[in-house]
A and B are shown apart, each in its own frame.
Chain A
């Protein structure tokens, strides 16, 4: 019994610590910028998905915004589900995600002001270099998936309700494999990087965003991009401002300023160029307004 009490106390402590954490976060991180007058509330909390974070785009472009305006952007990254949930719990000022259905739900439930798609890229199917299921000439991802299923080739699924997982499920449609029966279908429930390592280990196919694959390519020697840019593989990213009428403590001014900047020509140019230096190709395409 004593043991149980101790455990419960520990849980209670964790909760109270977590509660304190929220307020502490807002007071820290005041920018040291001298050229620009700091805004009243200089901290912007952005909740985004791991794949956006892993691509390295944000650290490449956000400092430009921060220098210009004196804001400080705190980027929290998690799976799409958790990223949205954090915002619903009032722990973010805006979200940057890539899952249309969840985004629309977020706005329709009143948590978000408006869904603004601003850039896209393509999911790619990576797989063993010898392409055992023979998908490289397929017209689109759906056809490739059908071949993988027919051949019973191994396929690693995110299985974590992330934006990438939802995109995968949409491509499978009615033909979604059942992991309980189809042993070739590996539902990993982990992040993009971990799933790619697993595909590399198990000689499996995997649906991934191009950015994460290219940035990890060195450790994925067994894998190649087998199929890219089918019309059903488009991956659109949006920003949504959290609704201050529904959520307390949202830094609306900051969120608006950041969204305006992301949609500006200056940011567009930075996004369109991102990746050229490191990977020899741009990773995102800006959506023209």
Chain B
């Protein structure tokens, strides 16, 4: 079991890392643009992102499943029951969260920064960068939330990943499996391991912020 447990933890971290990374690459700039940009459809985009935060994971999983099933649009890619498919479903779930949280972080400091950017005659992409870098500490919370959601999710990943041993099994689906086996206490122990991983990630992240404080 030990060797298998490490494999499961490895898959879990890989999946959570890449889904967090991708959804941040998409969501951070979009969040800033939605909050500070002046263009039509901005409100609708904000409302849409807010609504999608409530997307049930199983539904996201179902959509990805239907897209990648044998006779689905992307069926020929053979991605169903792979970690890649799990990441895609996770990105669907987490990106709206990143967008909304980024928007609310930026809304606090947005006005002043807009003027600064204007004063410095920064290009659009550069002012975007300015927003993200200035708010990096607060945005770290956004990233951690995204990571937390990703690592704790079970409905979508069991559907599109299939919970296949030595391949797509992650902590949450392993916990579900042990529960179905009737090994409740072992399942609970796995849950504690998952919490521990989450704790380590949180501590590392807060150390990152603290380390920065001394630099300032």
Q: Which residues of A contact B (CB under 8 A)?
A: 3-4, 7, 78-86, 159-162, 179-180, 186-191, 194, 198, 200-202, 222
Instruction: Check A202 against B81 for contact (C-beta < 8 Å).
Output: yes
What are 30 sample pairs from A and B whose C-beta atoms fall under 8 A apart?
A7-B195, A78-B180, A79-B181, A79-B182, A85-B182, A85-B183, A159-B165, A160-B177, A160-B181, A161-B182, A179-B166, A180-B4, A180-B166, A186-B162, A187-B165, A187-B166, A188-B163, A188-B164, A189-B163, A189-B164, A189-B174, A190-B158, A190-B162, A190-B177, A191-B180, A194-B162, A198-B81, A200-B70, A201-B69, A201-B81
> Does residue B179 face the partner (Cβ distance < 8 Å to A)?
yes
**Which residue of A79, A179, A201 is within 8 Å of B180 (Cβ)?**
A79
Minimum CB–CB distance for A260 against chain B, Å: 28
Instruction: Check B184 against A85 for contact (C-beta < 8 Å).
Output: yes
Hey, which chain A residues are within 8 Å of B184, CB to CB?
Answer: 85
Among residues of B, the one whose C-beta sits closest to the C-beta of A157 is B165
| CA gap between A186 and B183 in the complex, in Å | 22
**Which residue of A3, A82, A162 is within 8 Å of B202 (Cβ)?**
A3
> Does residue B150 face the partner (Cβ distance < 8 Å to A)?
no
Instruction: Check B164 against A82 for contact (C-beta < 8 Å).
Output: no
Instruction: Check A190 against B163 for contact (C-beta < 8 Å).
Output: yes
Give the number of residues in B that approach A within 8 Å (Cβ atoms): 25
Q: Which residues of B contact A (CB under 8 A)?
A: 4, 69-70, 80-81, 158, 162-167, 169, 173-174, 177, 179-184, 195, 199, 202
Hey, which chain A residues are within 8 Å of B174, CB to CB?
Answer: 189
Instruction: Check B70 against A222 for contact (C-beta < 8 Å).
Output: yes
Hey, which chain B residues are within 8 Å of A187, CB to CB?
Answer: 164-166
**Which residue of A7, A179, A188 is within 8 Å of B162 (Cβ)?**
A188
Instruction: Check B180 against A160 for contact (C-beta < 8 Å).
Output: yes
Minimum CB–CB distance for A104 against chain B, Å: 16
Among residues of A, the one whose C-beta sits closest to the C-beta of B70 is A201
Minimum CB–CB distance for B105 against chain A, Å: 18
Hey, which chain A residues are within 8 Å of B181, CB to CB?
Answer: 79, 81-82, 160-161
Instruction: Check A201 against B80 for contact (C-beta < 8 Å).
Output: yes
Given A83-B182, A201-B80, does the pair A189, B169 have CB atoms closer than 8 Å?
yes
Instruction: Check A82 against B182 for contact (C-beta < 8 Å).
Output: yes
Hey, which chain A residues are within 8 Å of B182, CB to CB?
Answer: 78-86, 161
| CA gap between A222 and B70 in the complex, in Å | 10
Hey, which chain A residues are within 8 Å of B179, CB to CB?
Answer: 82
Minimum CB–CB distance for B165 against chain A, Å: 4
Residue from the set B165, B179, B181, B184 with the largest chain A CB neighbour count within 10 Å: B181
| CA gap between A84 and B181 in the complex, in Å | 9
Given A201-B69, A222-B70, does the pair A186, B164 have CB atoms closer than 8 Å?
yes
